[in-house]
Amino acid sequence: MSKPFAITLKPGTSLANLTGTWRSERPVYLDRLPPCNNACPAGENIQGWLFHAESGDYEQAWRVLTESNPMPAVMGRVCYHPCENSCNRAQLDSAVGINSVERFLGDEAIKLGWKFAAPATTSGKKVLVVGAGPSGLSAAYHLARLGHQVEIQEAGPLSGGMMRFGIPKYRLPREVLDAEVQRILDLGVTLKLNTKVARIEQSMKEGNFDAAFLAVGAHIGKRTFIPAGDATKIVDAVSVLRSMEGEDKPMLGRRVVIYGGGNTAIDVARTAKRLGATEAIIVYRRTRDKMPAHDFEVEEALQEGVMIKWLSTIKQAGEGEITVEKMQLDDKGYPQPTGEYETLAADSVVLALGQDVDLSLLEGVPGLELKDGTVQVSSNMMTGHPGIFAGGDMVPSERTVTVAIGHGKKAARNIDAWLRGTVHQAEAKHELAEFQNLNTWYYSDAHQTVRPMLDIIRRQTSFDEVQGGLDETNALFEARRCLSCGNCFECDNCYGVCPDNAVIKLGPGKRFEFKYDYCKGCGLCVAECPCGAIKMVAEET
Amino acid sequence: MGFQTVKFYQTGTFTVGNRLLAPDERSVQADENRSNSINSGHRACQGCGEALGARYAIDAAMAESNGQLIAANATGCLEVFSTPYPESSWQLPWIHSLFGNAPAVATGIAAAMKVKGRHEVRVVAQGGDGGTTDIGFGCLSGMFERNDDVLYICYDNEAYMNTGVQRSSATPPAARTATTMPVGSEPGNVFGQGKNVPEIAMAHNIPYVATATVADLRDLEYKVRKAMRLHGARYIQIFVPCPLGWGTASHDTIRMARLAKETGMFPVFEAEHGEVTGVVKIRHKVAIEEYLKPQKRFAHLFGKHAHPETIARLQAIADRNIRKYGLLDEGGNQDV
Ligand SMILES: Cc1cc2nc3c(=O)[nH]c(=O)nc-3n(C[C@H](O)[C@H](O)[C@H](O)COP(=O)(O)OP(=O)(O)OC[C@H]3O[C@@H](n4cnc5c(N)ncnc54)[C@H](O)[C@@H]3O)c2cc1C
Ligand SMILES: Cc1ncc(C[n+]2csc(CCOP(=O)(O)OP(=O)(O)O)c2C)c(N)n1
Ligand code: SF4
Ligand SMILES: [Mg+2]
């Protein structure tokens, strides 16, 4: 035995005394579900990819991210980031700027040319994806990675769906979209443009497809009856935005009235401004707090000089002007007419009242259930017709790019199971990591980094991107603001604070283990774990 | 200047370790190969602050002295729970003689090492607050006055815990102990008595005096390592909550130490040759009630027969510490 300095006799050791027997409760390590992950419609493991970003390993972060979502550069621009709304750090100072770190990772990947790993196996199965919007692209990506042969048939001349023909360039530059679509196609996905699927069953039969995923979106602008003279130009918002991608830009005139209160209305108004309109006025029948558009978008539009007439409906459109009626909210918050009228100068009226789904490709398919103009799907994203799955805007749900991408992922996993004759079992959700589970003493105080905005003149006159990205230093800073809710980030606190040396440190990436022979069950490790990744459970008696 | 906190690496230097810091910026306790000077199997209570504080301190001293360290221990919990014959938890040469003579024993060891020319061997003495501020006080003052080459560490749990929670000269006013019952118009320990040994040590003009708590490991390690690089008499008093004696939950030991510091009740500072050279500022100031309430030894101040005036007097002590040591930054918060 090599004895410590100056010791000649072998001392009896306290290791003979197994103090673990004193315990009535034992600590156990666990992974709790971070609220950001829980809120992400695309099912991203946000805390998981931030963990790698924190150490500056951006490629690994991007790889973990893209296990769920193949389009982080797009997502980091257009996602409404429900993750940030539920981020625990908001209760401390301000939410982690998850969206801006995501964008940074997406942009790094494009800049440095990171590619997806080729699928490890091939299944020999063929899947048809209808529509190259976010939902279709996401499904194609996940199906390809699972080894299936995928063909996307797209009616339009270019990929992207509403990401290209709806969302304006100043929010999503097309080079970014193109780069992320191309990376999906590089996995061996076939994309057939200008190929409208007229009858789904026929297209499946012709191409010998084993299954299909439908993601045709919602493209038919809703109309409302407005008595109008011949001279008034009334157009719908999706057509206006779509024509922005063509050779001939829409002719809206100098005074443009937009009717509606959603994000689309805002996008059209801001687009009209950039096309040279002196006045872009949104007419909306309710109040600002009732508006479906997000507050930050309303704010940005107002900054750019867009005007909004609250509590108003359009009654009539005449030559060069329209008549609006003032509304009043009743007790239940519904707008009611007041009989008071006003005229507004208008060269054109753009209707932004929502979109309907074109379901004609489903005609004659047995077993389907249609409701309110959408296709019903069960929890595995399959329609009532075996082998035909659907997602995105055409099924009942919130209509966002993120939800569409989440549907694509979920459908792909279920299609994969269905093709193999099994049922996909989603992993059981872990218990939520709540703010009370954290010991926030241990985190440095640091507020969210603000992203740079383009100057106002260029925002009003060009289609240059409005919101800038973070650079490496502030992206790293922002990632490190993450509290790692519910998931060990190897801060060594448990290893340090145990008065009984009953925690073994297993080394980088391997976390820790308890020595239950000596753990007395004091619970200090649980109390001092910053991120709530340990809990006490009663010992069986 | 005191220990420099690392500003922003997620948890900076607040946590024991931090995978984002360079290896040489990490703590001794984060090291997989730390010496674990008091090993598992010791008989300290669940959540013992003293066992924790002793491992923090002696591991740091071992790291700084390359393992060439001898410890002399006063009687008290630390000695009793670590070394019931024939077992010991200690992983270094360790000697226990009497309750009150640990400083003198350490002085003797240091002298012997000097005579033998073993200059690399360093000596620590350690004991509880009773052993230090009361019964061993004469030996301690002598050790200071002779500037013997010993680092003395006092683990302050504010009473004689090993014999069943009797009052010591480090017991705070109003705290109930077995010998200061909560009866009469001024229940608990008296105001206006007791000793502030860190300040008495400073009055000896010794090279180094510091206070620390088990709630701030990085500061504690910094102070022990710094003390070990110096020679002559050095004194560190470490605040170590005692779940049994204070009537607190075993998982609250570190929280209580943090609150003692954040309220100003236990000022954390360092001094060289009798002058304060650094203080650890309060990060998020809290009122004294938050510290008192979870402790059963102060329970008589709350509830039906509450003593708000006594609580106010304790707050006044904390406020005085804050003023005296400058514990609050302008703005009150030390990190970005
Ligand atoms: C102006 C506007 C702005 C928006 N801004 C945002 C935003 O900032 N953030 C956000 O999260 N969401 C936003 N959305 C919503 C988002 O764009 C949609 O929810 C999302 O694109 C839906 O994806 P999808 O794949 O279901 O459908 P789409 O994106 O609509 O894609 C469907 C694709 O299918 C093709 N297709 C249709 N029929 C056929 C057929 N029969 N055969 C072959 N192909 C067919 C279409 O050409 C299209 O390419 C916005 C929407 C609009 C209109
Ligand atoms: C001369 C002498 N008097 C009394 C005792 C009994 N005794 C043993 S430990 C102890 C209390 C120690 O208190 P403290 O020094 O504060 O250490 P703690 O146990 O609180 O850590 C006492 C009174 C003794 N061992 N020797
Ligand atoms: S702090 Fe990190 S893990 Fe927690 S909710 Fe926010 S982003 Fe997610
Ligand atoms: Mg004591």
- Tokens 């924190």 correspond to what residue? A54
Is the model's pLDDT at A418 over the cut of 60?
A: yes
What count of Cα atoms within 13 Å lies in the side-chain half-sphere of residue B279?
A: 20
For A244-248, B25-29, B53-57, which range has the lowest pLDDT when averaged over its residues? A244-248
Residue among A13, A442, A500 whose CB faces B14 most closely = A442
Q: B38: which chain A residues are within 8 Å (Cβ-Cβ)?
A: 501
Please indicate if any CB of chain B lies within 8 Å of the CB of A508: yes
pLDDT surpassing 90 at residue B293: yes
Instruction: Tell me the helices (H) and strands (E) count for chain B, helix number first.
Output: 11, 9
CA-proximal residue: ligand 1, atom 20 (nearest): A401
Do the chains contact at A517 and B40, CB–CB below 8 Å?
A: yes
pLDDT tens figures, B149-161: 999 999 999 999 9
Interface of B with A in 244-263 (CB under 8 A): 249-255, 258
Query: Peptide bond preceding A119: is omega within 30 degrees of 0, i.e. cis?
Result: no
Q: Does A441 touch chain B (CB under 8 A)?
A: yes
φ/ψ of A151, rounded to 5, equals -125, 130
DSSP-based helix, strand, coil % in chain B, nearest 5: 35, 15, 50
- Tell me the Cα Rg of chain B: 19
Band (pLDDT 50/70/90 cuts) for residue A231 is low
Whether A264 and A333 share a structural domain: yes
Is A271 a pocket residue for ligand 1 (Cβ < 6 Å)? no
Question: How far off is chain A from B90, nearest CA to CA, in Å?
Answer: 8
Give contacts of B251 with chain A, Cβ < 8 Å: 522-524, 526-527
C-alpha Rg value of chain A to the nearest Å:
28
Tell whether the model's pLDDT for residue B334 goes beyond 90. no
Instruction: For chain B, say whether A7 makes contact (Cβ under 8 Å).
Output: yes
Instruction: Tell whether A373 and A520 lie within a shared domain.
Output: no
Q: In chain B, what residues touch A496 (CB-CB under 8 Å)?
A: 15-17, 27, 29-30, 217
CA distances for B100 relative to B69, B151, B240, angstroms = 21, 16, 20
Q: Which residue is closest in CA terms to ligand 1's atom 41?
A: A197
pLDDT tens per residue across span B224-240: 999 999 999 999 999 99
Tell me how many domains chain A contains.
Answer: 4
Say whether both A343 and A461 belong to one domain.
Answer: no
Task: Give B50 to chain A, closest Cα distance, Å.
Answer: 8
Window 464-503 of A, Cβ < 8 Å to B: 477, 480-482, 484, 489-493, 495-502
Supply the pLDDT for residue B20. Answer: 87
Does ligand 2 have an atom closer than 6 angstroms to the CB of B246? no
Q: Which residue has the higher pLDDT, B142 or A12?
A: B142
In terms of pLDDT, which residue wins out, A438 or B336?
A438
Is A397 within the bounds of a domain? yes
Same domain, A238 and A152: no
For B127, the enclosing helix (H) or strand (E) is strand B122-128
Percent of chain A with pLDDT over 90: 87
For ligand 2, whether the C-beta of B76 sits within 6 Å is: yes
| Residue B182 Cβ contacting ligand 2 at under 6 Å | no
Residue of A nearest to B21 (CA): A55
Same domain, A385 and A533: no
Give the pLDDT mean for A143-159. 97
Residue at A426 is within a domain? no
Give the architecture (CATH level 2) of B23-325. 3-Layer(aba) Sandwich (3.40)
Helical H segments across A398-518, by residue range: 401-419, 456-461, 472-479, 493-497
A483 lies in some domain = no
Task: Using the predicted structure, report yes or no on whether residue A308 has a pLDDT greater than 60.
Answer: yes
- What's the pLDDT score for residue A225? 84
The answer to whether A537 contacts chain B (CB < 8 Å) is: no
For the Cβ of B154 lying below 6 angstroms from any atom of ligand 2, the answer is: no
Interface contacts (A, B; CB < 8 Å): 172
Ligand 1 within 6 A of A393 CB?
Answer: yes
Is B127 near ligand 2, meaning CB less than 6 Å away? Answer: yes
- Residues A266 and A174 both lie in one domain: no
High-pLDDT (> 90) share of chain B, %: 87
What is the CA(B49)–ligand 4 centre distance, in A?
11
Q: How far apart are CA A47 and CA A286, in angstroms?
A: 38
Angle CA B240–B244–B250, to nearest 5 = 75
Is A216 close to ligand 1, i.e. is its CB under 6 Å away? Answer: yes
Please report which ligand is nearest the Cα atom of B78: 2
Q: State the CATH number of the domain containing residue A256.
A: 3.50.50.60
Residue A101 structural domain: 38-115+438-478
Q: What is the DSSP letter of A34?
A: -
Rounded Cα–Cα distance for residues A451 and B311 (Å): 48
Q: Please check whether residues A137 and A205 belong to one and the same domain.
A: yes
A449 to chain B: which residues are within 8 Å by CB?
none
Q: Which of B48, B88, B93 sits opposite A14 (nearest CB)?
A: B88
Average pLDDT of span A254-276: 95
Tell me: do A286 and A242 sit in the same domain.
yes
Question: Of A330, A353, A376, which marks where a domain is finished?
Answer: A353
Extract the tokens encoding A339.
Answer: 């009989």
CB A342 within 8 A of CB A327: no
Average pLDDT value for chain B:
94
Q: How far is the CA of A355 from the centre of ligand 1 (A)?
A: 10
Kindly report the nearest CA distance between residue A52 and chain B, in angstroms.
11
Q: What is the DSSP letter of B133?
A: I
Alpha carbons A169 and A171: distance in angstroms, whole number: 5
Residue B335 pLDDT > 50: no
- Is B9's CB within 8 Å of A7's CB? no
Q: Are residues A261 and A342 in the same domain?
A: yes
User: What is the tens place of the pLDDT at every residue in A95-110?
Assistant: 999 999 999 999 999 9
CB contact under 8 A, A489 and B258: no
* pLDDT beyond 90 at A379: yes
A10 domain residue, yes or no = no
Q: With an 8 Å Cβ cutoff, is B217 touching chain A?
A: yes
pLDDT tens-digit profile of A424-467? 998 899 999 999 999 999 998 877 878 888 898 888 888 999 99
Mutate to test the interface with B, among A54, A490, A493 (most CBs of B within 10 A): A493
Mean pLDDT over A258-267 rounds to 96
Confidence check: pLDDT of A541 > 80? no
Of A353, A374, A400, which closes a domain? A353
Q: What CA–CA distance (Å, rounded) separates B35 from A67?
A: 42
ipTM, interface predicted TM-score of the complex = 0.95
**Chain-wide mean pLDDT for chain A?**
94
CA–CA dist A181, A172 (Å, integer): 13
Nearest CA to ligand 3 atom 2: A482
- State the CATH number of the domain containing residue A20: 3.30.70.20
- Which span out of A443-447, A473-477, B44-48 was modeled with the highest average pLDDT? B44-48
Residue of A50, A102, A440, A477 with the most ligand 3 atoms within 8 Å of its CB, for mutation: A50
Nearest residue (CA) to ligand 3, atom 5:
A87
Is A495 within 8 Å of B29 when comparing Cβ atoms?
A: yes
Evaluate: CB of B162 within 6 angstroms of ligand 2.
yes
A465-470: long-range contacts, CB 8 A cutoff, minimum separation 24: A465/A77, A465/A169, A465/A170, A465/A171, A465/A172, A465/A173, A466/A170, A466/A171, A466/A300, A467/A77, A467/A171, A469/A76, A469/A100, A469/A103, A469/A104, A469/A107, A470/A97, A470/A100, A470/A101, A470/A103, A470/A104
In a domain, A433, yes or no: no
Residues 14 to 53 of B: which have CB under 8 A from any A CB?
A: 14-20, 27, 29-30, 32, 36, 38-44, 46-49, 51-52
Give the pLDDT of residue B7.
56
Q: Same domain for A360 and A345?
A: no
Q: Would you list the DSSP string of B210-258?
A: EEEETT-HHHHHHHHHHHHHS-S-EEEEEE---HHHHT--GGGHHHHHH
Task: Tell me the residues of chain A between 169 and 188 that have a Cβ less than 8 Å away from chain B.
Answer: none
| Residue A213 DSSP SS3 | strand
User: Residue A6 has what pLDDT?
Assistant: 65
Question: What six digits make up the tokens of A528?
Answer: 């001092």
CATH of the domain at A104: 1.10.1060.10
A345 and A369 share one domain? no
Mutation for testing the B interface, residue in A500, A506, A517, A534 having most B CBs under 10 Å:
A500
The pLDDT, as a whole number, for residue B254 is 98
A313 shares its domain with A333:
yes
The answer to whether position A428 is within a domain reads no
